[in-house]
Amino acid sequence: MTRKIDIFDTTLRDGEQSPGASMNTEEKLVVARQLLRLNVDVIEAGFPISSPGDFESVRRIAELAGDQAVVCGLTRAVEKDIDAAADALKYAKRPRIHTGLGVSPSHLRDKLRITEDECVERAVKCVKYAKKYVEDVQFYAEDAGRSDYDFLVRVIQAAVDAGATVVNIPDTTGYSLPEEFGRRIKYLVEGVRGIENVKIAVHCHNDLGMATALAMAGVKNGARQVECTINGLGERAGNTAMEEVVMAIRMHEDELDAHTDINTREFCKASRLVSSITGMNVQANKAIVGANAFAHSSGIHQDGVLKKRDTYEIIDPADVGAGASQIVLTARSGHAALKHRLEELGYELEGEALDQVYEAFLNLADKKKEVYDEDLESLINERDRNENALYTLEAVQVSTGFPLTPTATLTLKDVEGVERTVCEYGTGPIDAVYKAVNKIIEVDNDLAEFSVQSVTRGIDALGEVTVRVTAEDGGIYTGRGADGDIIVSSTKAYLNALNRLLSDKRAGRA
């Protein structure tokens, strides 16, 4: 059986300290319910002395959690802080007081202005005072990542001897390198008497982008609790992201001799919830829960994933509640990805037909960041419209503006492959184009309706134009055209309507 690693969530305490991410009590309760669904081991519900709202949040979350999770309140190494935490936790089934102080030269000299001996004395005093209220006391050695190794051993030894059940070794500023932080944890494991009877916790910040790596180094070297937040929320650059560290432990369970009891299928739901409540958006390329975490746009990657998912995905998206892998169609996508998506939409294309659509797809993808299902539908429809057309559009160019006269130069090809180019003026660019079309396709008609709408979202969306023309016998013919250029869409739509009219006329139906 591998070592159980406790997951200590501090989204409601350290996470909430992220500028702009504060939550009221009701919002904290909503998040706490989600943390319980995740099956976290410890919920750090707040800093009770800091405000009446934080006190109330800790009190209500303590009642909510029942036996399912430890509920923790943060304090400084100050008796009134500990009193407030104990009062807020008095109805908790599994209460924990989290108390401590800074231990680095910077904190001792510049912040606390005390000696090393005074620091040790305060550590012992705050742990013993908290033990009067609860059995489960966690001691934090703030800024341990920049502390002297031997002094850190001395402080932690004192806290353990005083009755601490958990000792928290934070890299408060995210300063450490993973290898060095791992050595620090190992030094404590080897240097503190009785350390095997308490849990070593790590609390790492992301100032250098290494919070998860630091936490993993701690686990590898003996830590049995990781303090983390949903989405890596936290002060400055944030904390260790719960979803990242939990999935890293799962991926390397044998190597680390470690596991967690987290219900990982709740990760994406938790991520969206915290993002919604705090207003802190998750970057698209965020590991595990980002919008692009399981999205593939490279043709080589798409081909591999379609053949066997784990060629480019080490995590099954369903395991973190992300649904399925996403094949994102872009200019880098290959035939395999396009064929797969078309088949999902119900189109079976092979050989030359697929090549034709792929060529049109690439032309569109060069103009757009992403090609959507609606775009593909339009491409297929365009292909079908052109397949039996009597005239096809080869080129169109428009000059317009103020005080210029709108002018259209147009080239059409007939079924025999003969091209014809004309130039016409009009009251506007569409009028000029349609007059040019009429000059080549000599069939009487009146434009009865013209409408345009975007096929998909975004400023780079395809525009689909629908026109209706009335023939001299009163028959109405509808034409559609889609393209990223509205002039081209309009020309294709009008041409499609006239091709239909002309076909009926030649067949004697008009």
Among 87-91, 352-356, 365-369, 388-392, which is the least confidently predicted range?
365-369
What is the fold of 3-278? TIM Barrel (3.20.20)
How many CB atoms sit inside 10 A of residue 169's CB? Answer: 25
For 286, the token pair is 């965020």
Q: Which of 500, 12, 460 is nearest to 227 (CA)?
A: 12
CA distance 38 to 331: 39
pLDDT (0 to 100) of residue 297 = 64
pLDDT (0 to 100) of residue 325 = 65
The pLDDT tens digits of the residues spanning 29-75 come to 999 999 999 999 999 999 999 999 999 999 999 999 999 999 999 99
The pLDDT tens digits of the residues spanning 291-332 come to 777 766 666 666 665 677 677 677 888 888 876 666 667 777
CA distance 175 to 104: 12
Portions of the chain given CATH number 3.30.160.270: 389-508
pLDDT (0 to 100) of residue 108 = 95
Coil, strand, or helix at residue 386? helix
CATH number of 389-508: 3.30.160.270
Going through 267-359 in order, the beta strands assigned E by DSSP cover 295-296, 326-327
pLDDT (0 to 100) of residue 299 = 63
In sequence order, the 6+-apart residues with CB closer than 8 A to the CB of 339 are 349, 354
First to last CA, the chain: 82
Portions of the chain given CATH number 3.20.20.70: 3-278
Question: What is the bridge-based pairing of β-strands 6-9 and 295-296?
Answer: unpaired
Query: pTM above the 0.75 mark?
Result: no
Portions of the chain given CATH number 1.10.238: 295-384
If pLDDT is split at 50, 70 and 90, which confidence band does 262 have?
very high
223 touches 169 (CB < 8 A): yes
Among 58-67, 124-133, 215-224, 306-315, which is the least confidently predicted range?
306-315
pLDDT (0 to 100) of residue 312 = 65
Q: Which CATH class is domain 295-384?
A: mainly alpha
Among 92-106, 108-122, 446-460, which is the least confidently predicted range?
446-460
Question: What is the bridge-based pairing of β-strands 199-204 and 137-142?
Answer: unpaired
pLDDT (0 to 100) of residue 280 = 83
Average pLDDT rounded to a whole number, residues 370-374: 77
Q: Which of 290, 295, 280 is nearest to 332 (CA)?
A: 295
439 touches 355 (CB < 8 A): no
What is the per-residue DSSP string for 108-163? IIIII---HHHHHHHHHHHHHHHHTT-S-EEEEEETGGGS-HHHHHHHHHHHHHHT
**β-strand partners of 476:** 470
Coil, strand, or helix at residue 246? helix
371 touches 329 (CB < 8 A): yes
pLDDT (0 to 100) of residue 337 = 82
For 388, the token pair is 């039996």
DSSP 424: E
Among residues of the chain, what percentage have pLDDT more than 70?
Answer: 95
Highest mean pLDDT among 354-358, 375-379, 426-430: 426-430
If pLDDT is split at 50, 70 and 90, which confidence band does 429 have?
very high
Residue-wise burial string across 87-120, b where 16 or more C-beta atoms lie within 10 A, e elsewhere: bbbeebebbbbbbbbbbbeebbeeebebeeeebb
Among 51-60, 270-279, 340-349, which is the least confidently predicted range?
340-349
The binding site for Mn(2+) consists of 14, 203, 205, 239
Coil, strand, or helix at residue 420? strand
HEC readout, 449-508:
EEEEEECCCCCCCCEEEEEEEEECCCCEEEEEEEECCHHHHHHHHHHHHHHHHHHHHHCC
The pLDDT tens digits of the residues spanning 472-507 come to 888 889 888 888 889 999 999 999 999 989 988 887
